[in-house]
Chain A
């Protein structure tokens, strides 16, 4: 019996979502009374980097470093994962519910005839052979507790749902033959366009977001400055993306991205229910709005009623002063 995770990496660098699933898997392994947390790494990552997954509770890494894995094809990655499950006898598989995870986890569930809970936000409750897993439903307006009824369980964990604390330990790295060949690849990746150097929005722990209250794209400089001072990613409401003040990938909400940062700062956003749907699971919400009746204040932990154009520069100064003192 073991717990298996899937390693997310980019350009050979292991991503935070992997550490998160590794630590989560370590806890699940304890619940299942096994010590084994195995990670499957597909594509080119150095053995040294993989060994360090031991810092996050991984005991063994299976690595198939064929270059053909570097470009993502959900079918290929699923097939390799299934073969790792077969060879290790894993009974629980933890995958991050990020863009690649959303493509792999459902495929794997059907391939293995294994129940999947996608978008889990907490550790499962394990009782004998039953797993109960909590996930957010109705666009953040409720939670549902799912019981997985099959012998093999798959959990796709929402990013930022489990704390990442680096520990000690080194994982053993073994070469793994997943049996994939070039003829399995059906999706050709032509180009990958990086959007920015900053933290990708779904992974960001701090997010500064702004809405139509900012009046126009020319005023986003101050939002970016605040975000930069905090080390935060930037986001926006839907109408702002619709009129192209900001790029679409920043649009959060029901029809945009769903995020779960530790801190969400909403500036000049009214807090319509469809916007809240994408952010209401944030741990702490700060709202800055000149309208004291803005619905967002009802969902907020902290609020400032006032004109964003006056408040933001002062707030940015305050952040800079705080950073200077605390770094």
Chain B
């Protein structure tokens, strides 16, 4: 299987979120960046597992981003076990732009499986996988929590739906977005980290693409008013407040 895993750079899970320039720019001051968790833990690890199980094929990671992303996300992906990497040298404007860049690369490479994570933890879009699938005219399995090869050309997967789990079968090539259940997180070891340094990173110029959306401004959520504490001996008071004051029951 020739596999492509889309990896994104996101602020660390615990990063404090603030904005500058009149709330139009995300303030990266003091923010640590990491590889997006679902891309790393589930999509990438499952691709590597499939390569290990079949003993053939390759895992390429792709990131649309500036040079600094090589040290922040690409090196780690290579250390975990990807074979090589592609970086599209651009600062992404919107999801449509990112998907167009990934699709432009994939078009020439005939990947069997293209993985994304379920969503990034910064823009929470859950959109890139579907967009890439459409541009390449491939089937798309979203929010998958398992993926198994049945044979060299067919795979089965389970995906989450409202109130249930759906089991599907699909022929390669296809696009899949991975979430919890798909694989277990792997910590890179020393050998992986050393090996990563010698693995190839191809840098490609971006394809021309005008974004379809732009962020006008950001807002921080209003602070919740201070918690109202209720006497543990009288939980019926909570029910009264939820009914009369909050009007939720």
Which residues from chain A sit less than 8 Å from chain B, CB to CB? 10, 15, 17, 72-75, 78, 97-100, 102-111, 113-119, 132, 134-150, 186-196, 199-200, 202-203, 205-206, 230, 248-249, 251, 254-256, 258, 262-263, 273-274, 277, 280-281, 283-287, 297-307, 310-311, 314-315, 318-319, 321-322, 326
Contacts and interface: CB of A to CB of B under 8 A. Distances in A.
Contacts of A298: 224, 227
B242 A263 contact: yes
Given A75-B133, A119-B126, A206-B249, A147 B212 contact: no
A142 to B, nearest CB: 5
A98 B126 CA distance: 10
A302 B236 CA distance: 13
Interface stretch (B11-19, B53-61, B82-90): B11-19
A105 B17 CA distance: 28
20 contacts: A110-B135, A119-B124, A140-B221, A142-B17, A146-B213, A149-B210, A188-B168, A191-B167, A194-B164, A251-B180, A254-B121, A263-B248, A273-B14, A284-B242, A284-B248, A301-B225, A303-B229, A304-B230, A322-B239, A322-B240
A116 B215 contact: no
Contacts, number: 282
Contacts of B130: 74, 102-107, 110
Interface residues of B, number: 84
B169 A103 contact: no
B246 A137 contact: no
A113 B11 contact: no
B204 interface: no
Interface string B132-153: 0111011111110100000000
B163 to A, nearest CB: 4
A262 B248 contact: yes
A298 B138 CA distance: 46
B95 interface: yes
Nearest to A257: B160
Contact of B162 (A105, A203, A299, A302): A203
